[in-house]
């Protein structure tokens, strides 16, 4: 018997799954067979490495078995020169894992010797088998991909949600992953749509929501939710998920989740938004001389009070005064209220009056909204916009009582002012930054 040039230190790997605990498949039985196989080939320099790698009661479905992990570790560190197994399926029952293992062995130049099929150890066959296994793996991956695509398509056809961000107003069922209405958020979404159909802009709606301290869904940047932006509100108003549809490649399709917004309301909001023209409010409006002109009503006769100015020395006294001859009756005598005091009183009362004290058909929530928004305006803005929010100031000198009523659109008006102000602080929109075409050039220059 010739002496081998060099010794090949071989590891023996055995695995026995729980399902088959007969004697022939036990780790010991596999080890004996493998060890005999090595001994029989001693002339080639084969020796057992002296350490056992036995995974008893381990499934072949997974690679993270204790002995397998140890074996891979030792292979990578170069502690063994080759690997002996009884059957190929001892390594793994999963093609994908098996291929990964075989590829690693091959790249590390570590021979794999299979007792039941010794020819597999030869390089030509090895390569062929690897290729076949590789294509099987590839095929399996394709199959999985196709199956996933089929499943997604089938789910969409059935109106089921597949994946993606959960829209505000919904949460997901932990088991089915389908959309479930989030009661509190859904109420808010509904409010957005109701305000929008009343003509509020997304910016105004965002301002109201922020005044109510409603928060958006958490995001990586704002883990506890953030302030609403007009963009986010506009996205909600345009999202067909709220009318019960889902997004598909071919556009919105009926979903299986519960709608938050009735179809008619959703459509009406869409029309309102589509029909909205760019408003052209004049800028740099001067502070009005008479912020409540035409709004003050005489409490005695019920007629509108006129504006009246008395000049005395260097001073100018403004009053709202009952001077009307409407209805053929003479004006009430001595009914006049200093304008500045009345205006300041109204401004103060607008933010501090209890909702109950407004003589108005308005709901409490609306008055509360109005007041929190009103308080966000500067004094100048408040004076400028008194006429936009106040419907009537009723002055009753007999009972020294003043009653206020708000316009129906008061909340939206103030929200709009705040929104406009916040937008003005942001960088100019792209539209106004666009390059001037020659036609835009002012005449008479250059």
**Residue 304 DSSP code:** B
User: Which residue in the set 52, 93, 268, 300 belongs to the binding site for Zn ion (CB under 5 A)?
Assistant: 300
User: Which residue in the set 47, 162, 180, 301 belongs to the binding site for Zn ion (CB under 5 A)?
Assistant: 301
Task: For the segment 324-343, give every residue that binds Zn ion (CB under 5 A).
Answer: 332
Of 122-130, 240-248, 290-298, 338-346, the window that binds Zn ion (rule: CB under 5 A) is 290-298
Least distance between Zn ion and beta carbon 332 (Å):
3
- Comparison of 218 and 302: residue with beta carbon closer to Zn ion: 302
* Residue 286 main-chain phi, psi, to 5 deg: -70, 155
Least distance between Zn ion and beta carbon 361 (Å):
25
- Comparison of 76 and 329: residue with beta carbon closer to Zn ion: 329
CA dist 49 to 6, 14, 28, 55, 127, Å? 14, 14, 16, 17, 26
Of 36-44, 160-168, 296-304, 400-408, the window that binds Zn ion (rule: CB under 5 A) is 296-304
Of 256-264, 315-323, 353-361, 399-407, the window that binds Zn ion (rule: CB under 5 A) is 315-323
Query: By CB under 5 A, is residue 394 in contact with Zn ion?
Result: no
- Comparison of 332 and 389: residue with beta carbon closer to Zn ion: 332
- Comparison of 355 and 397: residue with beta carbon closer to Zn ion: 397
Q: Which residues, including other chains, have CB under 8 Å from residue 335's CB and lie 6 or more apart?
A: 298, 300, 305, 321, 322, 395, 397
Least distance between Zn ion and beta carbon 294 (Å):
15
Q: Which residues, including other chains, have CB under 8 Å from residue 72's CB and lie 6 or more apart?
A: 104
Query: By CB under 5 A, is residue 322 in contact with Zn ion?
Result: yes
Q: Which residue has the tokens 């509108």?
A: 304
User: Which residue in the set 298, 336, 367, 406 belongs to the binding site for Zn ion (CB under 5 A)?
Assistant: 298
Count of residues binding Zn ion (CB under 5 A)? 5
Q: Which residues, including other chains, have CB under 8 Å from residue 110's CB and lie 6 or more apart?
A: 75, 80, 81, 82, 83
Least distance between Zn ion and beta carbon 237 (Å):
47
8 Å CB contact between 381 and 413: no
8 Å CB contact between 371 and 362: no
Q: Which residues, including other chains, have CB under 8 Å from residue 184's CB and lie 6 or more apart?
A: none
Least distance between Zn ion and beta carbon 215 (Å):
50
- Comparison of 12 and 322: residue with beta carbon closer to Zn ion: 322
Displacement of CA 308 from its chain's centroid (Å):
56
Least distance between Zn ion and beta carbon 355 (Å):
28
Query: By CB under 5 A, is residue 296 in contact with Zn ion?
Result: no
Give the integer Cα–Cα distance in Å for 103 and 121: 14
- Alpha-carbon Rg for the chain, nearest whole angstrom, is 41
List helix spans (H) across 23-94. 27-40, 66-76
- Comparison of 149 and 326: residue with beta carbon closer to Zn ion: 326
Least distance between Zn ion and beta carbon 305 (Å):
7
Question: Using CB under 5 A as the criterion, which residues of the chain lie in contact with Zn ion when the complex forms?
Answer: 298, 300-301, 322, 332
């Amino acid at each position: 018997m010739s002496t081998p040039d060099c010794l090949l230190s071989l590891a023996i790997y055995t695995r026995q799954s729980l399902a088959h605990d007969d004697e022939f498949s036990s780790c010991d039985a596999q080890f004996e067979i493998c060890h005999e196989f090595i001994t029989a080939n001693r002339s080639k320099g084969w020796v057992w490495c002296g350490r056992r790698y036995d995974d008893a009661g381990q499934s072949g479905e997974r690679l993270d078995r204790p002995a397998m992990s140890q074996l891979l570790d030792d292979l990578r560190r170069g502690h063994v020169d080759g690997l002996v197994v009884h059957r190929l399926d001892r390594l793994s029952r999963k093609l994908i894992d098996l291929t990964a293992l075989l590829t690693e062995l091959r790249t590390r130049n570590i021979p794999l010797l299979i007792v039941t099929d010794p020819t597999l150890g030869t390089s030509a066959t090895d390569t062929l088998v690897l290729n076949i296994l590789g294509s099987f793996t590839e095929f399996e991956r394709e199959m999985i991909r196709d199956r996933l695509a089929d499943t997604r398509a089938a789910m969409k056809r059935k109106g089921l949600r597949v994946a993606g961000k959960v829209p505000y107003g919904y949460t997901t069922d932990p088991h089915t992953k389908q959309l479930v209405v989030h009661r509190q958020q859904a109420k808010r979404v509904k409010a957005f749509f109701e305000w929008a159909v009343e003509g509020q802009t997304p910016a105004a709606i965002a301002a109201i929501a922020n005044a109510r301290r409603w928060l958006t869904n958490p995001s990586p940047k704002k883990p506890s939710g953030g302030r609403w932006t007009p963009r986010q509100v506009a996205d909600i108003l345009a999202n067909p998920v709220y009318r019960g549809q889902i997004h598909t490649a071919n556009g919105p399709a009926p979903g299986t989740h519960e709608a938050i917004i009735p179809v008619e309301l959703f459509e009406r909001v869409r029309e309102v938004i589509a029909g909205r023209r760019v408003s052209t409010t004049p800028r740099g409006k001067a502070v009005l001389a008479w912020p409540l002109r035409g709004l003050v009503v005489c409490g005695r006769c019920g007629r509108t009070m006129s504006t009246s100015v008395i000049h005395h020395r260097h001073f100018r006294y403004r009053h709202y005064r009952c001077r009307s001859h409407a209805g053929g009756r003479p004006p009430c005598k001595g009914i006049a209220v200093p304008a500045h005091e009345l205006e300041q009183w109204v401004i103060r009362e607008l933010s501090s009056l209890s909702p109950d004290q407004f003589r108005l058909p308005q709901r409490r929530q609306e008055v509360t909204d109005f007041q929190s928004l009103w308080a966000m305006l500067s004094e100048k803005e408040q004076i400028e916009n008194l006429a936009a929010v106040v419907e009537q100031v009723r002055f009753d000198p007999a009972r020294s009582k003043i009653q206020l009523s708000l316009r129906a659109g008061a909340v939206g008006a103030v929200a709009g002012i705040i929104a406009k102000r916040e937008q003005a602080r942001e960088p100019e929109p792209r539209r106004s930054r666009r390059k001037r075409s020659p036609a835009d050039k002012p005449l008479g220059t250059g």
